A and B are shown apart, each in its own frame.
Chain A
């Protein structure tokens, strides 16, 4: 279940220790299901069937992520990003602003780019979620990923998974983009290192390659 390759390799002298993430996972509080089915809204009319309302306690949610089905028990307030990162250990999508602004959490929902921090996990039920982990088949780089490497389109790398997802979705809709289209289309992602020049040219290169053009630098 846990993918070893995502973790830093331990040196011989290093003691096996609890990672920060393991600690956070272990410390998760189990919420009592006692409130389930009982409305906490005082003066709202009651629905015909109580089954319509779930929460505020944990409820079963099934997510389909990168082609794999995951069954979770989470509160309705848990975002898709938090569900993936904290419960499923799918940590490629990053949590930065957590306010639908920076784009570091960009993932695809039914192939459309969304901010995972601003979708509730429960809303994502029944949709196909794709994260950076699910993009490349057989560990081979996609044209967008390869172009990011070629153009040095990252420095610290924290925005990169979100950018790669946004670029991938953008190219699907705009196979022949101009630099101006790219600038507009990628307006939903921020890079604090300022690698925008590299990103734009990476997208141009990926566009050429995806149309069957030759490999190589601009």
Chain B
């Protein structure tokens, strides 16, 4: 790890004063489970690290029937899992959090850090940059791409967003609250993630001098929800594909449906096509299967990841059936 300056401010305001205007110059430290390893691998070599863990206000988790769930960015994955009210109102959020293992990761890792974790793309992690380029050309299409994107992969980015929580939070209509030098702003999470077009870009709209301080989730209003992850390993790894579903039913038929895929594209990938396949219909295994098929209808797999298309199809189907049965 390269040497760096270190600060541990007690308020968001004093933390903001320590941030620079360019990515890479300063890094924000929360749980550290991604950042410290990335610094050891020289994926990032900040000159200054700003630890947020002494800011008490960022560790709150609250629910009200009127405004929904508010989670400070420093709420740990374990805090979220231990919060009975959050589990009761957003069971699928707890399901997604439960996929994050083991206990060390859950006690250290924060909700904010989970949402802002950098891609796991092995080219990125081994020094080829976010766009995995060598001599101006991406190494992914002709390279080892079995875990890469099957959607939104027309280039130049081919990695997948690694967050487990973002897809369900997007399906629930969640927002991110960001603090910057000019004050606060709220961004819908579905607009929070962006596909980088240049190597200097990031995977989200957060600016280098801003801090993600809170996640806001609207009240659940009787939604049926589930997350279905397909994994190679049950721990110490990220899902191959995950589907998050939030359904509203009236009289046995689907009134509205939000389906968001994870780990298939450079951003969490909402699939309105799947929702449309469900709306106005009673959920049967066949209808759920059709929705799964619709979800991957625009997939453009790379040379080694065609299998992920089938996984995403089935993940959507199973998430829908699980949501309807109230299994989350």
The answer on a CB contact under 8 Å between A119 and B32 is yes
B284 touches A (CB below 8 Å): no
Chain B residue nearest in CB terms to A186: B102
0/1 string, A41-59, CB within 8 A of B gives 1: 1111111100011111101
Residues of B within 8 A of A120 (CB): 6, 29, 32, 36, 49, 51
Q: Which of A16-24, A71-79, A83-91, A138-146 contacts B (4 or more CB under 8 A)?
A: A71-79
Chain B residue nearest in CB terms to A105: B104
A44 to B46, CA, bound (A): 12
Chain A: minimal CB distance from B80 (Å)? 15
The answer on a CB contact under 8 Å between B236 and A101 is yes
| Interface SS, A side | loop
The answer on a CB contact under 8 Å between B37 and A100 is yes
The answer on a CB contact under 8 Å between A77 and B1 is yes
Residues of A within 8 A of B29 (CB): 120, 123
Residues of A within 8 A of B53 (CB): 123
B33 interface neighbour in A53, A100, A106, Cβ under 8 Å: A100
Chain B residue nearest in CB terms to A116: B104
The answer on a CB contact under 8 Å between A187 and B108 is no
A123 to B112, CA, bound (A): 18
Residues of B within 8 A of A47 (CB): 7, 9, 14, 17-18
B25 touches A (CB below 8 Å): yes
Residues of A within 8 A of B18 (CB): 44-45, 47, 52-53
B19 touches A (CB below 8 Å): yes
B235 touches A (CB below 8 Å): yes
Chain B residue nearest in CB terms to A75: B3
Residues of A within 8 A of B6 (CB): 53-56, 59, 76, 120, 122
A39 touches B (CB below 8 Å): yes
B47 interface neighbour in A40, A115, A186, A188, Cβ under 8 Å: A40
Residues of B within 8 A of A56 (CB): 3-6, 47
B281 touches A (CB below 8 Å): no
A187 interface neighbour in B5, B9, B48, B235, Cβ under 8 Å: B235
Task: Tell me the residues in window 1-60 of chain B with beta carbons closer than 8 Å to chain A beta carbons.
Answer: 1-9, 14, 17-22, 25-26, 29, 32-33, 36-37, 39-41, 47-49, 51, 53
A106 to B33, CA, bound (A): 13
Chain A residue nearest in CB terms to B235: A187
B101 touches A (CB below 8 Å): yes
A112 touches B (CB below 8 Å): yes
The answer on a CB contact under 8 Å between B5 and A113 is no
A-B CB contact pairs (8 Å), 14 listed: A41-B20, A41-B47, A44-B19, A52-B9, A53-B6, A56-B47, A100-B32, A100-B37, A112-B107, A115-B33, A166-B103, A186-B102, A187-B235, A187-B236
Q: What 4 A-B pairs have minimum CB-CB distances, sorted nearest first? A: A188-B102, A187-B235, A76-B6, A187-B102
Binding site for A on B (CB under 8 A): 1-9, 14, 17-22, 25-26, 29, 32-33, 36-37, 39-41, 47-49, 51, 53, 78, 101-105, 107-108, 181, 234-236
